Every structure is written in structure tokens, then in C-alpha cells.
Chain A
């Protein structure tokens, strides 16, 4: 449980951090995925650039049409945010379902999505929110639609030498009517299956729905088949049961000693159903 030796650099601004990132350097945020990997020697960077003390990354901002969350905001801060509770309740629900208090006090949302663990909670939630990820590199800023962000197993749109600075959540009707449900892997308490659902209703029927799933496949994905099947329908047990049948179509479902492919696929159906049922009650 001793890492190989590395240099440690603490940045006080994003620009300074970008300057410190060279070959063989990695970014240290809350460290809750990186430090264990270092201790197990699964990862051995030459330099760690600590961005956890950059104040500009630690702010939740309430804008006219969006809420912007700094990449360095902790899970606990998200759980405690009134503005998020009002505009996007699934954010707080997901934050409270991560790890334990110690983890929530240290771990950050930016770190989580940059790491892109296939069982992490945030990827599913951010897919459902229709978020934008703002990324800064030496050549300036760019914005990546969350639908284009997760690319594979621990793989994202983030390039070498770039830092996630902000996650922008639109203030929408579907985000105001959203929920996150999770079936925990008993040991790690990561998501064996996690489902974030956000639904905008128009009168008695679904106007639009966004459903994100984590833990099921090699990276989080949107259950677009379910979203489409719900459009224009009432949200009730029958329509939900019929819509969820396609939840694992077109993805490769993972298998491990806690959940075989068959069981994990079953759980995906159950938890999408439960998420949508939660929203049907709230109407």
C-alpha cells in the first residue's frame, strides 16, 4: 500500500495547473479513485498536479438558465445545495448515495466524471440532465455535450493536458422532475445499477424524457429506446412496464461475481422502472 515515488505540485489557478501538466503528470482532485490506484501501484504517474485548492473550481453558481458546478465541488456540497435541490433533485439524491460521509466530503464531481468509472453515479445523472462539460486546455476552453463525453471503459472526451473546469446543468422542466435510484454493490457501494430519470410532462403525457444508466455497461449510457417509447404516453405502471423492455438493447451488459449479465440486465429493468414510478407518483 505504498505508491511509487512521485512529484507533487499544488496549483492555485487553472492556468497554473495547465502549465504544470506535462508528460507523465496526472491531476489530483479529491483523490478517491486516484490514491487507491497509486497505493495498489495500478497507476504510477511521475507528477501529481493538485487542483483541489483552486477556489474557482469550487463554486456552485445559479445562473439565469443554468446551474454551473465547478469541477472541484464535492459530493457533499452538491448534496447540500438548495438550488440544485430545487432545479434538479436527482443531483442531491445521487450525491447522497455516493460512498460514505468521508468520501462525500473529499470526492469531487469533476474527478468522478474525468475518471469515468463504469459504476460511478455521476455519469448516469449528468447524462439525464443534458449537461455540458466545460474543459480548459492550453489553447483555451471548449464545451462538450455530455452525450459526447463518455467514450468507453474509463475513457472520455478529455484530451491530454486538459482540465474539466465546470459542469453546466440546464434549468429545464425535466430536470425539475428528476430522480436517481441505485442498487449498490454491497462491498464498494458503487452502483451495481444506477438509474437517473428526468421527465417533462405535458398535461397527462410525457413530453420528453432523459434516462441515464450506470453500472450496466462499460460506460454510462442513455436508454434512448425507453425515452422514445415513453414520449406522448401517460406515465403509469403499464406504460412504464412496456417502455423499459428495451433498456439494455444495444449495450453489452457487464458480468462479475456480484451480478451476472442476466441479473444485471434484470436489475437495469427494475431500476429504470422504479425511477420512472417515483416520477409518476410525484405528478
Chain B
């Protein structure tokens, strides 16, 4: 019954995307729609003495201008959806994130006024006439510096700018004792720099209040329409949820940055009722740089101890995590439960302690960005183990193989219980690394490297990662501080003619759900893929959903769909049995029809569905119709893993790094659509490589983002990348019906340290024994390391 599963079915949604017929939020034009421009703070830290909007308000075409003073006191701001407690049990510091600033701006880009006008151009022109008197203060942008005595405070009532401190794992004394017993300790201090997500579609939102029905519609470029509705209704505006429809149309990428509920969504919704017109706001690229939640920004100091054989005996990590000026929706979860919990990696490390201090700074908020915490954990582990191999003069691949957890399938063998609060579902780690070594031609490469003598330095870097996807179950994440459940819902409606509409709470922002989910449904039901339609992204059509992030859609959303499909087939069997005058137990279902076992008597799916809606000849007591909803709450996360290998060449004269080859062997469990998985891996690799070599924010001392444009902030481009060499192993997830794990973030999680390790390897082999070159590894930084 796998006509579609495992096949590279071409993406059904691509026809509209590549012919320019995708419909994004900014494409939506409503009657009498007004346009908003948000006037933002040009300073990182300043007090507003006065705002004069009179001249701007007088401009022709201006509908209204509002400032923080115009927002009712009851609307405190956008909430945080994840609570982390201090080590002493106190609740984290959670200062309000106002829709518009009232008195003090805390980062460049903080919203000060909303200008609503007949056109965006008029709104922008009017904004330039607003006169604001600021008192400018000192700013702090570095997460570690923010915690030091004397640092400028972001919030007066948050001492040391500390949002929370937190630790996980074995007690520090035990880790210290194990470290003291080590034959070798590798120590590394590094920054995992701040990056900007840079979705190709800037954020956009339209608020529309319908007087006739006393009901709001918010169109928004989101990964998460239902959660946005919940947060905005219940925690910001106090509007009952049934009075709000949230629509996420086609979404042009997010990488995490569109998970969160943003101030602009609440502003256009709230003011659409007040001005009596729909209001559209669309970020320009400069605003996207300043206000889309950023990623990473950790400063870490880690130590890993090894015995004389190279077995890891202990890991201690201290991290400062930058929260930005305000807490974005899931910000506190990223450096804690999505980072600290992954520090077991693929290794049998017996003692692990991770200690995290989260600080506020005068910068834009930081939150989940492709991988969210797991790339930071992987970077920490994989950098330090590669460095340890260099320091101990051991082979980095052998050192990893020596420390891998033994294979376990999660069925015959128990899942692996880590020192940092997780139980891995299934894993078989050596094969991914061995396959990668085979693909790279490892021995031949080392010979070539040793022979290199043309002003270039060759290096190879490894990264063997594990990640956690489909974060769940709800009760567990609730205990860890999530203020939401993390299940998924799906409704499968069989039309009388046997065509199938699937309503999923997952919401694609480029992943190809309309294809992958349809493959699953079509195969499971034995029908043609053309007979299945996947509907998502509209709270009036899909009853509930938790959205798309954390590589969860197939593992969690797909499983919910399978549950509903199974309910359809169970009911269908009862109807078929009635029509065939047989017992449901005597029927087989295959190729879209029920057959009485051992006979040629059968009835097709379409006849059964028609009977369900025209129930003349029908089982007694059975409800008509074929329409089932399910909620799926997984029993555990899923744990994909893989081995990435980078080969780089450094130009000794300039420090320029050329990525010559990149090999990725990933295990994402069962694969529904190999082409889509390859695409996800490729995109993730580009993004992770981008962080290693090109991307990274630069703030000046006053807190200005000085590379907030594509002229200054370097995104990886096709000519920066080699043709990727990818392969897979398959270790199915034992606890979901599809055996799938998740592939959206893997590329981005594994690749970054592989590239950096390759550069460090090249430098060591060239005689430059440096521990670290900060990311992004620009030519100047690499050149400086060689001076």
C-alpha cells in the first residue's frame, strides 16, 4: 500500500508558487483598507520626554496616529509563552512588552507610534513629521556584559539584567570530581553569534473588524495561526476567541521567526475597530532586520574531560543567553529545555552539568530560529570534541566512535536515558558517521591534506549531532514551563463522492505539507493523491492547531491525520460490512476497496462514502457521515541524528575560506518524500554554513545594528556553496504511527560546527594551533588567526 509514501512526488503547491499565484498576506487587498507604518526608535536606550504628532496628523491622507499613551492600561503587551524559574524557585523576570512604548525605548526598532493613512507612502511621509524628544542613555548588547556590575539596566526592576538563572544535569560537585579524574580536559570559550532569520517574505498583518458580526479577522504571515489567536485574544486584547478569525495565507518562509505573536498583529487588530477600516502593515526589509525575532546569541564557556583512552568522563557548560530587550513568545525555552537537554549528544558522557544565565540587553528579542537551542548545544559539543581530538592528537572520527551510545531501537531495547532529562527514542549512531567517512574518502583526504603545499590549507571538520523534534507530550512540556499544549489536531472529512478534505493544525511556510500529508492520506486510504486536499492556516476552517516549528509537522500533525484516517476506515468497514452482508472482521481493505476475505465480493471506498451520506441501506444505530477529528499528543519527542563532514580550503594570504565539499548523512526516521527531505536538508545546510562563514549581527557601542541590510549582512548564496553530498540511514521512530522523526532543522543543526571544525583543523595542520576563530569566520578573522 505504498504507492506514494517513499516516493519523490513533485510538490503540489509549487504550481501556484512558481507561477506567481501564491497568495501572501501583503497580496490581500480589502475594501477601504488603510495602511500602517510603525515609527520606531532610532536609539537602543532612551527616555521619551515628549512626542508631538500634530503636524503629522494634519497631513492629507492621514487617518490616525497613536502612541503608547493611546493604548489602554489594561493592554500591557504581548505575553511570553514559556516560563523558566530561577534556580532558587523564583519565577523568571517577565517585564511587559508593550504594543507601543510609553516612556522608555529599549532597543533600536522599539515601536513608538503607529501612523495609519490612506497609503503606506503617506503613512511613512507623515511619520517623518512626528517630533520626538529623547534623552539617550548608555546601552548594553552583549549577554555576558549585561550581567556584570554597572551594566546599564534594560528594565529598572530587573537587577543585573538577569531574566533567570537555571541549571540541569548532575550536581556540579559530581561533575567537578569526574573532571578532576580526567587524563585530559579540553576547555573552550566561544560565542554562538546572533543571526537574523531573513525569511524572504517580510512579516505582514491585516486587521479587519466587521461591525455586522462584531467579529475581527487577522490575516498574518505566521507559522502558527491558532496560537496567535489564543495569545492575542486571551493575553493581549481580551477579545473572546470565537470573535476572532486568524488566517495565515501562503507564508514565504519563517525559520522560526513567524512562530511568535508580535505587537504589530495586535496593533492592526485593535485599531481596525477604532478607525473603522481594515489596516494593513507590512515590514520593509530594514524593519525585518530590526524586529523579526533574532536567533542564537550565546556566550559559552565549556570544559570536557577525557580518560586516558579518550572516553568522555564529564562535561561542564556555562552559558549566557541573550533574550534581547523583551521576552519573545518562546525565548526562555531556547537556551534551557531546547539546549541544556541536548548536551548528552550522541555520547555516553556520565556526568553533565549545564548552567545558563539569561539576560536582557538593549537589542531586539531573540527566540527560536531553525534548530532553536539544539544548534547551540550541537555547536558546543562538536566544537569541543573536535578540539579535544586535536589536543590529544587523536582522530576526531575515532574519538566520536569510541564515545557513541550503543544502538537501541526503542522496542526491543529501552530508549536511552540521558543525564539531562531526556529519553532518546531510538538510535544507531555509528552507521551515519561510517557512511560519511566512506563518502568523503577519509584516508585519501588525509593524505591529500598532508601533501598540500600551494599557499592553501586544507581542513576537514566533523559534526555528529542529535536533535529533538516534535516537542511533546503536553504534560511534560507543561512541567517544563510551556504555557501551551504541544499536541496537534486533524480533521478528515470524506465527501459523499469519496474525495477527502484534510484540515490540519500544522501550517506550512514552505515545507510542502500539501504534498507530504496528501501522500500519507492517499496511501493509507488507497486512493489517488488528486482526491485529497490539505487545508491549513485558517482558524475558521481548522478547528485547532499548534502550528509548524521544531520539525514537528509530520511527526505530530501527520500522526493526528493518521488517527483520523484510521477512524474513517474503521467506520467505513462497518458500512462496507453491512453492504457486503459480512462481518467487519472478515473484511480486508486494500487499493480503495473492502473485500470479503477469500471471496471476490468487494465494495469501493466511494460507494461506502456515498452510502454514509445517503444512508438508505445502512447499519442500524450508526451515525451518517464520514468526518472525524483527532488530537494527537505524542508520548515523547523524536530524536533524529546524523553525521556532517566539511572540507575547506583556506587561502593563506587572505584568510578566505572556500567550502570545497559538504557531506551530510542524516537519519530522520522513515521518509515520506525523499525529494522534500533532501530539500529541507539542503536549505538547512546552507543556513548552518551561513552562520559559520557569513552571517552575524554587528552592534556598535550605542546599540545600533550596523549591518541591517543585505549590503552589509551576508547571506549565504549559491556560489558560496558546493554541491551537497547527502545520504540517509533509517532508524524509525518507535512511538508514532508513521515512524517519522523530522527533517526541517537537521541541516542547520549539524552543519555549523562541521565547517568551523574544518577551518580549525586546517589551521592546526598548517601550524596555527588556535582554539577558536569567532563566527562568522570572515577572511579577516581567519587571517588574523594566522598572524
Chain A residues engaging chain B, CB cutoff 8 angstroms: 1-2, 4-5, 36, 40-41, 183, 186-188, 257-260, 263, 266-267, 270
**A187 partner residues in chain B, CB cutoff 8 A:** 694, 707, 710-715
B120 adjacent to A2 (CB under 8 Å): yes
A186 adjacent to B778 (CB under 8 Å): yes
Point out the residue from B121, B694, B698, B712 that lies within 8 Å of A2, measured CB to CB: B121
A270 adjacent to B653 (CB under 8 Å): yes
Point out the residue from B121, B707, B710 that lies within 8 Å of A5, measured CB to CB: B121
Q: Please measure, in the bound complex, the distance between the C-alpha atom of A259 and the C-alpha atom of B784, giving whole angstroms.
A: 11
Which residue of the partner chain B has the closest CB to A5?
B121
A186 adjacent to B694 (CB under 8 Å): yes
Given contact pairs A186-B714, A267-B654, enumerate 20 new A-B contacts (beta carbons under 8 Å).
A1-B284, A1-B285, A2-B124, A2-B284, A4-B125, A5-B125, A36-B711, A40-B286, A41-B128, A186-B694, A186-B778, A187-B712, A187-B714, A257-B706, A257-B712, A258-B780, A263-B780, A263-B783, A263-B784, A270-B654
Q: Please measure, in the bound complex, the distance between the C-alpha atom of A36 and the C-alpha atom of B712, giving whole angstroms.
A: 14
Majority SS at the chain A contact face:
loop
Chain B residues engaging chain A, CB cutoff 8 angstroms: 120-121, 124-125, 128, 284-286, 653-654, 656, 694, 698, 706-707, 710-715, 778-780, 783-784
Q: Please measure, in the bound complex, the distance between the C-alpha atom of A183 and the C-alpha atom of B653, giving whole angstroms.
A: 12
**B128 partner residues in chain A, CB cutoff 8 A:** 41
Q: Please measure, in the bound complex, the distance between the C-alpha atom of A36 and the C-alpha atom of B694, giving whole angstroms.
A: 23
Can you list 12 A-B pairs, Cβ within 8 angstroms, ordered by A? A2-B120, A2-B121, A36-B711, A187-B713, A187-B714, A188-B710, A257-B707, A258-B778, A259-B780, A263-B779, A263-B780, A270-B654
Q: Please measure, in the bound complex, the distance between the C-alpha atom of A183 and the C-alpha atom of B654, giving whole angstroms.
A: 9
B653 adjacent to A188 (CB under 8 Å): no
Q: Please measure, in the bound complex, the distance between the C-alpha atom of A186 and the C-alpha atom of B698, giving whole angstroms.
A: 15
- The distance from the CB of A20 to the nearest CB of chain B, in whole angstroms, is 24
- The distance from the CB of A73 to the nearest CB of chain B, in whole angstroms, is 24
Q: Please measure, in the bound complex, the distance between the C-alpha atom of A188 and the C-alpha atom of B654, giving whole angstroms.
A: 18
**B784 partner residues in chain A, CB cutoff 8 A:** 263
Closest 5 CB pairs of A and B: A187-B714, A1-B284, A186-B714, A188-B711, A263-B780
**A4 partner residues in chain B, CB cutoff 8 A:** 125
- The distance from the CB of B202 to the nearest CB of chain A, in whole angstroms, is 9
- The distance from the CB of A101 to the nearest CB of chain B, in whole angstroms, is 12
Q: Please measure, in the bound complex, the distance between the C-alpha atom of A267 and the C-alpha atom of B782, giving whole angstroms.
A: 13
Q: Please measure, in the bound complex, the distance between the C-alpha atom of A38 and the C-alpha atom of B727, giving whole angstroms.
A: 47
Q: Please measure, in the bound complex, the distance between the C-alpha atom of A122 and the C-alpha atom of B697, giving whole angstroms.
A: 30
**A188 partner residues in chain B, CB cutoff 8 A:** 710-712
**A266 partner residues in chain B, CB cutoff 8 A:** 783
With most chain B CB atoms within 10 A of its CB, the pick from A2, A186, A267 is A186
- The distance from the CB of B720 to the nearest CB of chain A, in whole angstroms, is 8
- The distance from the CB of B715 to the nearest CB of chain A, in whole angstroms, is 8
**B124 partner residues in chain A, CB cutoff 8 A:** 2
- The distance from the CB of B527 to the nearest CB of chain A, in whole angstroms, is 45
- The distance from the CB of B229 to the nearest CB of chain A, in whole angstroms, is 29
- The distance from the CB of A112 to the nearest CB of chain B, in whole angstroms, is 16
**B284 partner residues in chain A, CB cutoff 8 A:** 1-2
- The distance from the CB of A192 to the nearest CB of chain B, in whole angstroms, is 8
**A257 partner residues in chain B, CB cutoff 8 A:** 698, 706-707, 712
- The distance from the CB of A253 to the nearest CB of chain B, in whole angstroms, is 13
- The distance from the CB of B621 to the nearest CB of chain A, in whole angstroms, is 63
**A186 partner residues in chain B, CB cutoff 8 A:** 694, 714, 778
- The distance from the CB of B289 to the nearest CB of chain A, in whole angstroms, is 12
**B285 partner residues in chain A, CB cutoff 8 A:** 1
Q: Please measure, in the bound complex, the distance between the C-alpha atom of A196 and the C-alpha atom of B778, giving whole angstroms.
A: 24
A260 adjacent to B780 (CB under 8 Å): yes
Q: Please measure, in the bound complex, the distance between the C-alpha atom of A187 and the C-alpha atom of B285, giving whole angstroms.
A: 15
Q: Please measure, in the bound complex, the distance between the C-alpha atom of A257 and the C-alpha atom of B699, giving whole angstroms.
A: 10
**A258 partner residues in chain B, CB cutoff 8 A:** 778, 780
Q: Please measure, in the bound complex, the distance between the C-alpha atom of A127 and the C-alpha atom of B601, giving whole angstroms.
A: 89
Q: Please measure, in the bound complex, the distance between the C-alpha atom of A2 and the C-alpha atom of B37, giving whole angstroms.
A: 11
**A1 partner residues in chain B, CB cutoff 8 A:** 284-286
- The distance from the CB of A138 to the nearest CB of chain B, in whole angstroms, is 33
**B698 partner residues in chain A, CB cutoff 8 A:** 257
Which residue of the partner chain B has the closest CB to A193?
B654
**B656 partner residues in chain A, CB cutoff 8 A:** 183
**B783 partner residues in chain A, CB cutoff 8 A:** 263, 266
**A267 partner residues in chain B, CB cutoff 8 A:** 654
Which residue of the partner chain B has the closest CB to A270?
B653
Q: Please measure, in the bound complex, the distance between the C-alpha atom of A27 and the C-alpha atom of B166, giving whole angstroms.
A: 59
**A40 partner residues in chain B, CB cutoff 8 A:** 286
**B706 partner residues in chain A, CB cutoff 8 A:** 257
Which residue of the partner chain B has the closest CB to A44?
B128
**B654 partner residues in chain A, CB cutoff 8 A:** 183, 267, 270
- The distance from the CB of B604 to the nearest CB of chain A, in whole angstroms, is 54
- The distance from the CB of B529 to the nearest CB of chain A, in whole angstroms, is 37
**A260 partner residues in chain B, CB cutoff 8 A:** 780
With most chain A CB atoms within 10 A of its CB, the pick from B707, B710, B712 is B712
**B780 partner residues in chain A, CB cutoff 8 A:** 258-260, 263
Q: Please measure, in the bound complex, the distance between the C-alpha atom of A40 and the C-alpha atom of B710, giving whole angstroms.
A: 13
With most chain B CB atoms within 10 A of its CB, the pick from A1, A40, A266 is A1
Q: Please measure, in the bound complex, the distance between the C-alpha atom of A270 and the C-alpha atom of B654, giving whole angstroms.
A: 8
- The distance from the CB of A255 to the nearest CB of chain B, in whole angstroms, is 11
- The distance from the CB of B82 to the nearest CB of chain A, in whole angstroms, is 33
Q: Please measure, in the bound complex, the distance between the C-alpha atom of A67 and the C-alpha atom of B129, giving whole angstroms.
A: 51
Q: Please measure, in the bound complex, the distance between the C-alpha atom of A267 and the C-alpha atom of B120, giving whole angstroms.
A: 44
Q: Please measure, in the bound complex, the distance between the C-alpha atom of A69 and the C-alpha atom of B715, giving whole angstroms.
A: 35
With most chain B CB atoms within 10 A of its CB, the pick from A2, A4, A40, A266 is A2
**B653 partner residues in chain A, CB cutoff 8 A:** 270
- The distance from the CB of B518 to the nearest CB of chain A, in whole angstroms, is 36
- The distance from the CB of A119 to the nearest CB of chain B, in whole angstroms, is 10
Q: Please measure, in the bound complex, the distance between the C-alpha atom of A266 and the C-alpha atom of B121, giving whole angstroms.
A: 46
**B710 partner residues in chain A, CB cutoff 8 A:** 187-188
**B120 partner residues in chain A, CB cutoff 8 A:** 2
Which residue of the partner chain A has the closest CB to B120?
A2
Q: Please measure, in the bound complex, the distance between the C-alpha atom of A270 and the C-alpha atom of B651, giving whole angstroms.
A: 11
Q: Please measure, in the bound complex, the distance between the C-alpha atom of A136 and the C-alpha atom of B42, giving whole angstroms.
A: 42
Q: Please measure, in the bound complex, the distance between the C-alpha atom of A47 and the C-alpha atom of B780, giving whole angstroms.
A: 42
Q: Please measure, in the bound complex, the distance between the C-alpha atom of A36 and the C-alpha atom of B709, giving whole angstroms.
A: 11
- The distance from the CB of B562 to the nearest CB of chain A, in whole angstroms, is 44
Q: Please measure, in the bound complex, the distance between the C-alpha atom of A5 and the C-alpha atom of B120, giving whole angstroms.
A: 12
Which residue of the partner chain B has the closest CB to A188?
B711
**B714 partner residues in chain A, CB cutoff 8 A:** 186-187
Q: Please measure, in the bound complex, the distance between the C-alpha atom of A257 and the C-alpha atom of B709, giving whole angstroms.
A: 14
Q: Please measure, in the bound complex, the distance between the C-alpha atom of A19 and the C-alpha atom of B731, giving whole angstroms.
A: 75
**A259 partner residues in chain B, CB cutoff 8 A:** 780
- The distance from the CB of B700 to the nearest CB of chain A, in whole angstroms, is 9
Q: Please measure, in the bound complex, the distance between the C-alpha atom of A5 and the C-alpha atom of B286, giving whole angstroms.
A: 20
Which residue of the partner chain B has the closest CB to A40?
B286
**B125 partner residues in chain A, CB cutoff 8 A:** 4-5
**B707 partner residues in chain A, CB cutoff 8 A:** 187, 257
Which residue of the partner chain B has the closest CB to A39?
B284
